[in-house]
Amino acid sequence: MYLTPTALHTRHSKDVVMDIAQVFIFDLGWVFFAAWGMALAAVSAVAFGRDLLPFIPRATHKPGQR
């Protein structure tokens, strides 16, 4: 594999050419879906955390306490 100023070429019988715009879009998509997955995991942990980890005490106060 070698890098030219305009494209990324692979040395195969059928050369696959990917220009810089396609590489950028591919990387941007990968970062977007990685961030989407982390956001989904965080929202799920907040929403279902008490169901998944019931042994963690809740921050509730008894009557008469501050």
In the prediction, which pLDDT does 5 show? 55
| Residue of 57 and 35 predicted with greater confidence | 35
- Give the Å distances, CA to CA, from 5 to 18, 19, 29, 46, 59: 12, 9, 23, 46, 59
Task: Write out pLDDT tens, residues 4-44.
Answer: 555 555 555 555 677 888 889 999 999 999 999 999 999 99
| Residue of 1 and 64 predicted with greater confidence | 64
H helices present in 8-53, as ranges? 20-52
- Give the Å distances, CA to CA, from 18 to 6, 24, 66: 9, 10, 63
